[in-house]
Amino acid sequence: MEIRQRWVTEEYDGQSMRAYLARPASAGEAVLPTVIVIQEVWGVDEHIQDMADRFAAAGYQALAPDLYSLGEVPEALRPKRIQGVKRFLDTMPPQGWGDTAVREQYINKRPQPEAQNLRETLALLFGPKDNSRFIGQLKAWVDFAEQNDSPVVSVGYCMGGGLSFLLATEDQRVKAAVCNYGTAPTEEALARIDTPVYGFYGGTDHRITDAVPSLAEGMAKLGKTFHYKIYAEAGHAFFNDSRASYNVNAARDAWAETLSFFSRQLKN
Protein backbone atom coordinates (compact mmCIF):
# COMPACT_ATOMS: atom_id res chain seq x y z
CA MET A 1 0.00 0.00 0.00
CA GLU A 2 1.22 3.47 -0.84
CA ILE A 3 1.43 5.74 2.21
CA ARG A 4 1.45 9.53 1.95
CA GLN A 5 3.95 10.89 4.47
CA ARG A 6 4.75 14.47 5.37
CA TRP A 7 5.68 16.72 8.27
CA VAL A 8 3.10 19.26 9.40
CA THR A 9 3.52 22.24 11.70
CA GLU A 10 1.20 23.81 14.25
CA GLU A 11 1.55 26.41 16.97
CA TYR A 12 1.37 25.99 20.73
CA ASP A 13 2.05 28.64 23.34
CA GLY A 14 3.32 31.03 20.67
CA GLN A 15 5.88 28.56 19.31
CA SER A 16 5.93 26.21 16.35
CA MET A 17 5.98 22.43 16.66
CA ARG A 18 5.85 19.63 14.14
CA ALA A 19 4.41 16.16 13.69
CA TYR A 20 4.87 13.30 11.25
CA LEU A 21 1.64 12.64 9.35
CA ALA A 22 0.89 9.41 7.46
CA ARG A 23 -2.23 8.46 5.48
CA PRO A 24 -3.15 5.74 2.98
CA ALA A 25 -2.77 7.37 -0.44
CA SER A 26 -5.79 5.52 -1.80
CA ALA A 27 -8.05 7.25 0.77
CA GLY A 28 -7.58 10.58 -1.00
CA GLU A 29 -8.87 13.43 1.12
CA ALA A 30 -11.48 11.34 2.95
CA VAL A 31 -11.88 12.03 6.66
CA LEU A 32 -10.25 9.16 8.54
CA PRO A 33 -10.03 8.46 12.27
CA THR A 34 -6.79 9.89 13.64
CA VAL A 35 -4.38 7.84 15.74
CA ILE A 36 -2.05 10.08 17.73
CA VAL A 37 1.15 8.02 17.97
CA ILE A 38 3.14 9.22 20.97
CA GLN A 39 6.89 8.84 20.93
CA GLU A 40 9.28 6.95 23.13
CA VAL A 41 11.95 8.97 24.93
CA TRP A 42 14.03 8.76 21.72
CA GLY A 43 11.71 11.11 19.84
CA VAL A 44 9.94 10.60 16.53
CA ASP A 45 12.62 8.30 15.20
CA GLU A 46 12.42 5.66 12.47
CA HIS A 47 10.56 3.26 14.78
CA ILE A 48 7.82 5.75 15.65
CA GLN A 49 7.51 6.83 12.01
CA ASP A 50 7.21 3.15 11.07
CA MET A 51 4.44 2.68 13.65
CA ALA A 52 2.60 5.67 12.18
CA ASP A 53 2.96 4.15 8.70
CA ARG A 54 1.55 0.87 10.01
CA PHE A 55 -1.53 2.62 11.36
CA ALA A 56 -1.92 4.42 8.03
CA ALA A 57 -1.76 1.07 6.23
CA ALA A 58 -4.55 -0.10 8.56
CA GLY A 59 -6.79 2.71 7.33
CA TYR A 60 -6.09 5.54 9.76
CA GLN A 61 -4.63 8.98 9.61
CA ALA A 62 -1.61 8.70 11.91
CA LEU A 63 -0.08 11.72 13.58
CA ALA A 64 3.19 11.41 15.53
CA PRO A 65 3.93 14.68 17.36
CA ASP A 66 7.59 15.52 17.89
CA LEU A 67 7.37 16.62 21.52
CA TYR A 68 10.95 17.92 21.43
CA SER A 69 10.28 20.24 18.48
CA LEU A 70 8.51 23.05 20.35
CA GLY A 71 10.44 26.20 19.49
CA GLU A 72 13.95 25.00 18.62
CA VAL A 73 15.15 21.45 19.23
CA PRO A 74 18.06 21.53 21.71
CA GLU A 75 21.34 20.33 20.23
CA ALA A 76 21.46 17.54 22.81
CA LEU A 77 18.12 16.13 21.55
CA ARG A 78 18.85 16.16 17.85
CA PRO A 79 18.75 12.80 16.04
CA LYS A 80 22.53 12.40 15.70
CA ARG A 81 23.04 12.86 19.44
CA ILE A 82 20.19 10.49 20.35
CA GLN A 83 21.54 7.84 17.97
CA GLY A 84 24.87 8.16 19.75
CA VAL A 85 23.18 7.55 23.11
CA LYS A 86 21.40 4.47 21.75
CA ARG A 87 24.71 3.01 20.58
CA PHE A 88 26.30 3.82 23.94
CA LEU A 89 23.50 2.20 25.95
CA ASP A 90 23.85 -0.97 23.90
CA THR A 91 27.34 -1.36 25.41
CA MET A 92 26.04 -1.57 28.99
CA PRO A 93 23.51 -3.72 30.90
CA PRO A 94 19.91 -2.47 30.42
CA GLN A 95 19.32 -2.50 34.19
CA GLY A 96 21.95 0.21 34.48
CA TRP A 97 20.39 2.60 31.97
CA GLY A 98 18.49 4.54 34.61
CA ASP A 99 21.32 4.46 37.17
CA THR A 100 23.44 7.60 36.90
CA ALA A 101 26.37 6.06 38.78
CA VAL A 102 26.50 3.01 36.52
CA ARG A 103 26.21 5.16 33.40
CA GLU A 104 29.08 7.33 34.60
CA GLN A 105 31.35 4.29 34.91
CA TYR A 106 30.81 3.60 31.21
CA ILE A 107 30.87 7.25 30.11
CA ASN A 108 34.26 7.77 31.79
CA LYS A 109 35.73 5.23 29.38
CA ARG A 110 34.81 7.45 26.42
CA PRO A 111 36.97 10.25 24.99
CA GLN A 112 35.97 13.90 24.95
CA PRO A 113 33.86 15.50 23.59
CA GLU A 114 31.83 12.28 23.23
CA ALA A 115 31.65 11.77 27.00
CA GLN A 116 30.25 15.26 27.62
CA ASN A 117 27.78 14.93 24.76
CA LEU A 118 26.53 11.66 26.25
CA ARG A 119 26.07 13.28 29.67
CA GLU A 120 24.10 16.19 28.22
CA THR A 121 21.77 14.03 26.14
CA LEU A 122 21.24 11.39 28.84
CA ALA A 123 20.39 14.12 31.37
CA LEU A 124 17.60 15.39 29.11
CA LEU A 125 16.34 11.96 28.04
CA PHE A 126 16.19 10.42 31.52
CA GLY A 127 15.77 13.54 33.64
CA PRO A 128 12.48 15.11 34.83
CA LYS A 129 9.96 15.89 32.10
CA ASP A 130 7.40 18.69 31.89
CA ASN A 131 4.39 16.46 31.26
CA SER A 132 1.96 19.37 31.48
CA ARG A 133 3.72 20.97 28.51
CA PHE A 134 3.71 17.70 26.59
CA ILE A 135 -0.02 17.28 27.27
CA GLY A 136 -0.62 20.85 26.10
CA GLN A 137 1.09 20.03 22.82
CA LEU A 138 -0.88 16.81 22.42
CA LYS A 139 -4.16 18.64 23.01
CA ALA A 140 -3.19 21.07 20.26
CA TRP A 141 -2.71 18.10 17.92
CA VAL A 142 -6.17 16.84 18.89
CA ASP A 143 -7.39 20.29 17.83
CA PHE A 144 -5.56 19.81 14.52
CA ALA A 145 -7.30 16.48 13.89
CA GLU A 146 -10.70 17.83 14.84
CA GLN A 147 -10.46 20.63 12.27
CA ASN A 148 -11.65 18.01 9.79
CA ASP A 149 -14.04 16.33 12.24
CA SER A 150 -11.70 13.36 12.59
CA PRO A 151 -12.40 11.19 15.66
CA VAL A 152 -9.24 10.72 17.73
CA VAL A 153 -7.63 7.81 19.56
CA SER A 154 -4.14 7.67 21.04
CA VAL A 155 -1.36 5.14 21.44
CA GLY A 156 2.05 5.53 23.04
CA TYR A 157 5.21 3.60 23.77
CA CYS A 158 7.30 3.83 26.96
CA MET A 159 7.26 7.56 27.82
CA GLY A 160 4.54 7.93 25.20
CA GLY A 161 2.53 5.12 26.77
CA GLY A 162 2.33 7.08 29.99
CA LEU A 163 1.43 10.22 28.05
CA SER A 164 -1.31 8.41 26.12
CA PHE A 165 -2.82 7.33 29.45
CA LEU A 166 -2.41 10.83 30.88
CA LEU A 167 -3.93 12.49 27.80
CA ALA A 168 -7.03 10.36 28.31
CA THR A 169 -7.43 11.89 31.78
CA GLU A 170 -7.09 15.43 30.41
CA ASP A 171 -8.96 15.41 27.10
CA GLN A 172 -12.33 13.67 26.87
CA ARG A 173 -12.31 14.04 23.08
CA VAL A 174 -9.94 11.06 22.91
CA LYS A 175 -12.22 8.08 22.32
CA ALA A 176 -9.73 5.34 23.27
CA ALA A 177 -6.18 5.23 24.59
CA VAL A 178 -3.52 2.53 24.45
CA CYS A 179 -0.60 2.50 26.88
CA ASN A 180 2.34 0.32 25.93
CA TYR A 181 4.62 -0.23 28.97
CA GLY A 182 4.09 3.28 30.31
CA THR A 183 3.52 4.48 33.85
CA ALA A 184 0.00 5.27 35.01
CA PRO A 185 -1.28 8.73 35.98
CA THR A 186 -1.89 9.68 39.60
CA GLU A 187 -5.02 8.50 41.41
CA GLU A 188 -6.34 12.06 41.27
CA ALA A 189 -5.97 12.11 37.48
CA LEU A 190 -7.49 8.64 37.10
CA ALA A 191 -10.62 9.82 38.86
CA ARG A 192 -11.22 12.22 35.94
CA ILE A 193 -10.93 9.67 33.15
CA ASP A 194 -13.90 8.62 31.03
CA THR A 195 -11.92 7.25 28.08
CA PRO A 196 -11.47 3.45 27.82
CA VAL A 197 -7.79 2.46 28.20
CA TYR A 198 -5.97 -0.71 27.17
CA GLY A 199 -2.50 -1.38 28.56
CA PHE A 200 0.15 -3.79 27.27
CA TYR A 201 3.07 -4.76 29.49
CA GLY A 202 6.12 -7.01 29.59
CA GLY A 203 6.26 -9.56 32.39
CA THR A 204 9.96 -8.98 33.09
CA ASP A 205 9.53 -5.18 33.16
CA HIS A 206 9.00 -5.22 36.92
CA ARG A 207 9.46 -1.48 37.50
CA ILE A 208 6.25 -0.80 35.59
CA THR A 209 4.38 -4.09 35.36
CA ASP A 210 4.37 -4.96 39.05
CA ALA A 211 2.03 -2.00 39.67
CA VAL A 212 -0.51 -2.99 37.00
CA PRO A 213 -2.77 -5.35 39.04
CA SER A 214 -3.32 -2.69 41.73
CA LEU A 215 -3.87 -0.10 38.98
CA ALA A 216 -6.58 -2.32 37.49
CA GLU A 217 -8.18 -2.76 40.89
CA GLY A 218 -8.19 0.97 41.47
CA MET A 219 -9.71 1.67 38.07
CA ALA A 220 -12.43 -0.91 38.72
CA LYS A 221 -13.29 0.72 42.05
CA LEU A 222 -13.59 4.06 40.24
CA GLY A 223 -15.90 2.48 37.66
CA LYS A 224 -13.43 3.15 34.84
CA THR A 225 -12.76 0.98 31.78
CA PHE A 226 -9.27 -0.49 31.85
CA HIS A 227 -8.14 -3.66 30.10
CA TYR A 228 -4.61 -5.00 30.22
CA LYS A 229 -2.41 -7.83 29.03
CA ILE A 230 0.93 -8.90 30.44
CA TYR A 231 3.25 -10.89 28.19
CA ALA A 232 5.20 -13.10 30.57
CA GLU A 233 8.36 -13.52 28.48
CA ALA A 234 8.54 -9.94 27.19
CA GLY A 235 10.39 -7.02 28.69
CA HIS A 236 10.21 -3.27 28.39
CA ALA A 237 9.91 -1.84 24.85
CA PHE A 238 8.88 -5.20 23.39
CA PHE A 239 7.24 -3.39 20.46
CA ASN A 240 10.43 -1.70 19.27
CA ASP A 241 11.78 -3.89 16.48
CA SER A 242 14.84 -1.67 16.11
CA ARG A 243 16.10 -2.61 19.60
CA ALA A 244 17.27 -5.79 21.29
CA SER A 245 14.15 -5.61 23.50
CA TYR A 246 11.85 -6.59 20.62
CA ASN A 247 9.60 -9.58 21.29
CA VAL A 248 7.85 -10.68 18.12
CA ASN A 249 5.10 -12.73 19.81
CA ALA A 250 4.10 -9.98 22.23
CA ALA A 251 4.29 -7.31 19.53
CA ARG A 252 2.16 -9.31 17.09
CA ASP A 253 -0.56 -9.94 19.66
CA ALA A 254 -0.56 -6.39 21.03
CA TRP A 255 -0.82 -4.99 17.49
CA ALA A 256 -3.89 -7.10 16.71
CA GLU A 257 -5.47 -6.25 20.06
CA THR A 258 -4.82 -2.52 19.54
CA LEU A 259 -6.49 -2.44 16.14
CA SER A 260 -9.48 -4.39 17.45
CA PHE A 261 -9.80 -2.10 20.48
CA PHE A 262 -9.71 1.06 18.38
CA SER A 263 -12.26 -0.35 15.93
CA ARG A 264 -14.70 -1.20 18.74
CA GLN A 265 -14.36 2.11 20.53
CA LEU A 266 -14.69 4.21 17.37
CA LYS A 267 -18.06 2.56 16.72
CA ASN A 268 -19.41 3.70 20.11
Which one has a higher pLDDT value, 99 or 211?
Answer: 211
What pTM was computed for the model?
A: 0.96
Start-end ranges of CATH 3.40.50.1820 in the chain?
3-70+131-267
Question: In the predicted model, what is the mean pLDDT of residues 201-219?
Answer: 97
CB 208 within 8 A of CB 187: no
* Average pLDDT score over the chain: 96
Could you tell me the pLDDT band of residue 200, with boundaries at 50, 70 and 90? very high
- Which among 205, 227, 241, 253 is annotated as catalytic? 205
96 to 91, 102, 103, 116: CA distances (angstroms):
11, 6, 7, 19
CB 167 within 8 A of CB 185: no
Pick the closest to residue 184 from 174, 205, 199 (CA basis): 199
- Which among 66, 236, 241, 253 is annotated as catalytic? 236
- Which among 158, 206, 210, 227 is annotated as catalytic? 158
Could you tell me the pLDDT band of residue 72, with boundaries at 50, 70 and 90? confident
Q: Which CATH superfamily is domain 3-70+131-267 in?
A: Alpha/Beta hydrolase fold, catalytic domain (3.40.50.1820)
Residue 52 to residue 55: CA distance in whole angstroms = 5
158 is catalytic: yes
